[in-house]
Amino acid sequence: MPSLNTASVPVPGADRSGHFPGDPALGWPARLRDALARAGEAATLLLTAPGVEVDARALAQLDAALATLTLDALSPIAIDAVRTGWRLDDDDDAALEAWTWALHQVEPGPPDPRCALWTRAAAERVVAATCPDPAIRGGRLPHVAVALPPQQVDPVPLPGFRPGDLAGRRPLPTAAGLDGRPVVLHVLHDWGGGVHRFVDDAMRHDRAATHLALVSHGDIAGGFGQRLALYVDLDRAPIRSWVCDPPIGDMAESHPSMRAALAETAAAFGVGALRVSSLIGASLDVFATGLPTTLVLHDAFPFWPWLDDPSAEPGWDPEHLAAAAAGAEWRFAETRPAAWRQRTVTTLAAIEAAQVALVAPSQAALARLRRLVPATLLTAATVLDRK
């Protein structure tokens, strides 16, 4: 029996940068001229103050971001600025706190003279410039923190990244995407129960991978999928959230907030695989990331949306479903059996197109689902190996 999929996080490749310590007081033109004279064939130039050490993973983050942007130079944030801005104790790992809470986006601004990675073309342009103060397109990565020497004014991270009023519920910082372990993203609803226990168990006890959880929050009155939240610990506060306006509802073929949450999480934390434990309040975008994806069949949604059906061996019966949808205990906005049948068809097509692996938590759950959905696709579904 197969276990759930994981995927490896790529280790940063060979250093393409030349490292050139120098006195920041000399100014960029003089420092870049000296660096170019010694750079050989280096594609990028790392200029730092004397004594500054940039580890391989921080350098890889700077290099990857610089390669995708139209900037001349890119700097990290100072670890001391993170400590000051977020009032961290000395024992706190400010580098991990920045990685966890700061948005993984570039903040425009001048490159930091204490540490900046330059493109070779930009360095050559600055050196060749006839004006004494050439325009430089710079930026800073607020999620990449490096120990830098103190300066009189040090830009601090925005306080909203790491809300101070969450002190009692703030999770420990995560090394997802940094420590070489594969990163698995779970997708689930906020109903608790067996789905919550299943994901929580993986997050707490699987030491071979780092687990994150994208939870769809909502209710019957306002609609499911009103907000998506990213967790490193389901019992703590989320580290990211996305408002869904309009709400996703029971489920959707696609939704911009779900697409954004998936794309931003995957890019920020190096997600290598998805485990979808529920499609309630979610969209079928979860099957369109291009990442290895597993659907864990905890329930028969959306194939049979009467989740509390007491029948020992239920089968697809539109009259039976219509009667349940007319009852006071019905949980979903959609009540038409034909619409649920179409959702089944659409969902199965998305699963097949993405070659999603299907697993059930038990043989009984799988047998029940096969009676409800006599699709050839489900013959490939297996029972989860919990070992």
| pLDDT mean across residues, the chain | 89
Pair 200, 294 in one domain: yes
> Is residue 167 assigned to a domain?
no
Of residues 242 and 312, more confidently modeled: 242
Of residues 3 and 161, more confidently modeled: 161
What is the rounded distance in angstroms from the CA atom of residue 224 to the CA atom of residue 332?
8
Pair 248, 301 in one domain: yes
Pair 202, 326 in one domain: yes
Pair 106, 195 in one domain: no
Domain membership of residue 340 as a residue range = 183-383
Pair 246, 317 in one domain: yes
Pair 150, 227 in one domain: no
Structure token pair of residue 62: 């700077």
Phi-psi label, residue 114: left if phi above 0, alpha if psi -120 to 50, beta otherwise: alpha
Of residues 87 and 140, more confidently modeled: 140
* pLDDT over 70, % of the chain: 93
Amino acid at 331: R
Pair 101, 188 in one domain: no
> Is residue 99 assigned to a domain?
yes
Of the three residues 162, 197, 215, the one that is the final residue of a domain is 162
Pair 252, 323 in one domain: yes
> Is residue 95 assigned to a domain?
yes
Pair 188, 155 in one domain: no
CB 79 within 8 A of CB 146: yes
- The residue-averaged pLDDT of 97-107 equals 94
* pLDDT over 90, % of the chain: 69
pLDDT at 247 over 80: yes
Q: Report the interhelical angle of 120-128 vs 28-38 (nearest 10°).
A: 120
pLDDT at 15 over 60: no
Determine the pLDDT at residue 96. Answer: 94
298-353 pLDDT, tens digit each: 988 999 999 888 876 777 888 989 999 999 889 999 999 999 999 999 999 999 99
Determine the pLDDT at residue 120. Answer: 95
Of the three residues 113, 129, 162, the one that is the final residue of a domain is 162
> What's the domain count of the chain?
2
Confidence of residue 13 (pLDDT cuts 50, 70, 90): very low
Q: What is the 3-state secondary structure (H, E, C) of 183-243?
A: EEEEEEECCCHHHHHHHHHHHHHCCCCEEEEEEEEEECCCEEEEEEEEECCCCCCCCEEEE
259-312 pLDDT, tens digit each: 999 999 999 999 999 999 999 999 999 999 999 999 999 988 999 999 888 876
Residue 121: exposure state from Cβ atoms within 10 A (0-12, 13-18, ≥19): exposed
pLDDT at 374 over 80: no
CB 287 within 8 A of CB 251: no
Pair 144, 63 in one domain: yes
> Is residue 299 assigned to a domain?
yes
**pTM of the prediction?**
0.88
The DSSP string of 50-62 is TT----HHHHHHH
Pair 352, 236 in one domain: yes
